[in-house]
Amino acid sequence: MTSAAEQPTNTPGCPPILLDARSAAAALSVGWTLFYQLCASGRIGPRPVKLGERSLWVRAELEDWAAAGCPTREQWLRRKPSP
């Protein structure tokens, strides 16, 4: 169970920038178990970022990935510009 201090505080009308696995799965209209399976198999292109011990996905990158036709991670990483 998470404490009140760990609960996300979203400003109304301002979607979160980073999504946990359940939120990322919901944004992609899949269950979180399937989301983890797809991540593990390389079918979800964007990799999560680590914030402390949490793995979070960048909403904009998930949106860009979906708009690109949901390429595999290998294909997605080849398309992304280097940092």
Please report whether residue 1 resides in a domain.
no
Please report whether residue 38 resides in a domain.
yes
Number of domains the chain is built from: 1
Residue 51, domain extent: 15-79
In the chain the first and final C-alpha atoms are separated, in Å, by 36
* Per-residue model confidence (pLDDT) at position 14: 81
Among 4-8, 37-41, 59-63, the minimum mean pLDDT is found in 4-8
Q: What is the mean pLDDT of the chain?
A: 88
**Whole-model pTM above 0.85?**
no
Query: For the residues 22-38, what does the mean pLDDT come to?
Result: 96
